[in-house]
Amino acid sequence: MKPLNYIEVQQICTELNKLTGTQLQRVSSDEHKIYLLFWDGEKSYVWIIDLNTKSPMILPFDGSVPRRNIKKPWVSFLDMHFSGSILVGAQPESEGERSLVLSLKSVDKGEQKIIVNLFPKGVNLILKSENKQVSKFKVKDFPPVEELPAGLNARAINELVIEYNSKAASKVKNSLSPQQLHEKEVRKIEKAIKKITEDLERKNIKIIELKKLGEFIKANHSLSAPEELQKYIDTNKSVFENMSLAFDKSKKEKSKLEGSSNRLIVLTEQLQLLNQVADFSQWAKSKGKQTTSELKLKKDQKLKFKTINLENNHKVLLGSSAKNNSELIKASKPWYIWMHLRDYPSSHAVVISKKNDEVQRMVLIKAGQELIKHNFKSKKIKYEGLKFDLIYCQIRHLRQIKSSPGKVTYTNDKNLTIQM
């Protein structure tokens, strides 16, 4: 749906001003929408504020209103401070702006304002009451509009309502059935399995060819290798350099195989579980719900950690940088187990477990070995046979140092010695 323009915002303010003197009786909300229920003593009027970041909207609403509010600070503030207030009026925040101000008055709280930013990428709901200000998003300063754009065509209020409702209806119409969702998920995982399997085959061939090239150069002291191996030769480098590069690249490719192989195991297990589903409706309801053995990540976070499956359905997640280590700790639950190499700069590792489960020593050892391999990467061969001390404790006993991302202080830690 096309976003509102300034003329349409003016029309909406005119329509809202017809409700001047009515009481804001109730506030309801869901993830991105606010429902304001006004009462004039005889009849109720509902307006919706849709804070969709692509096409925000404020319109009269005649659909079903949620009975409960989502638990967000800005929603609680709106409900607590504005319910029962009287609407004084509505007007654009300034000339040319796609932003409007709802002015209200409360007997005990005085003058109040609900400011709604209605332009894409600048969407916001700002609430002002009793010298306090709360907003859905961080408040940003935008440059004022220097001149009004010419030739703006305004849609009538009823046109906007019809367009908005038809968009919502099309979303419902186009939604997939539980069985279709299941089939889509199966196809998605099958496609990923096929891609990883093909990638593993290519990598295995590359590893064999690189090792073969290294052995050929080592035996013949020449770059006149078979034709299929010529693609790996750098003619600008010496015989010795090409031999070293061939062996090094072979080891690096081999280390990459571990992550792909583990991912393939996870996807195969997921596909097996999907193929056992009999009740698609129940599966669709449970889809997306987190189990106690998964990370509790924020919905808007797109975090990537190297994940390795361990014994007894445990997993270990490995950070890849200071920032990533910090994100890993923030995303973890208090009872997950954090690990770090003692006396070495190291990535952070987190072992995922169910609440109140005792993680067996063998699981910790395996997780520690994965951390060491991940930490030293291609150089891990040099450390085979050596012993390492690891620190581990529950996430609840960690404190992050704000000024140094990835650095922590800890208590209740234990030591684990591992031989590679």
Percent of the chain residues past pLDDT 70, beyond the cut: 91
- Say yes or no to pLDDT of 43 above 80: yes
Q: What is the mean pLDDT of residues 108-112?
A: 91
pLDDT average, residue stretch 272-299:
65
Q: Take residue 300 and report the two structure tokens written for it.
A: 């808007």
CA 250, distance to chain mean position in Å, is 35
CATH 1.10.3210.10 fits 6-173, yes or no: no
Q: Where are the domains of the chain?
A: 6-173, 176-289, 290-420
Task: Return mean pLDDT, the chain.
Answer: 85
Confidence of residue 50 (pLDDT cuts 50, 70, 90): very high
Which residue, among 123, 158, 119, has the nearest Cα to 139 in the 3D structure?
A: 123
CA distance to 28, 35, 78, 351, per residue, from 67 (Å): 7, 10, 15, 40
* Sequence-ordered alpha helix ranges (H) in 276-353: 280-286, 322-331
Per-residue CA distances from 377 to 258, 263, 369 (Å): 11, 18, 12
| pLDDT in the model for residue 386 | 81
- β-bridge mates for residue 419, sequence order: 387
Question: Does pTM top 0.75 for this prediction?
Answer: no
CB-CB neighbours of 51 under 10 Å: 20
Asked whether the predicted pLDDT for residue 297 surpasses 70, the reply is no
Q: What is the pLDDT of residue 177?
A: 83
Cα 357 versus chain centre, distance: 27
Using a pLDDT cut of 90, give the percent of the chain over it: 37
Categorize the per-residue pLDDT at 145 as very low, low, confident or very high, splitting at 50, 70 and 90: confident
Residue type, 310: L
Q: Is 336:351 a contact under the CB 8 Å cutoff?
A: yes
Please name the residue that has the structure tokens 């307006």: 47
Q: Which residues does 231 contact at the CB level (< 8 Å), separation at least 6? A: none
Confidence of residue 380 (pLDDT cuts 50, 70, 90): low
Q: Buried b vs exposed e over 140-168: b needs ≥16 C-beta within 10 Å?
A: eeeeeeeeeeeeeeebeeeebbeebeeee
- Alpha-carbon distance of 344 to 341, in angstroms, equals 6
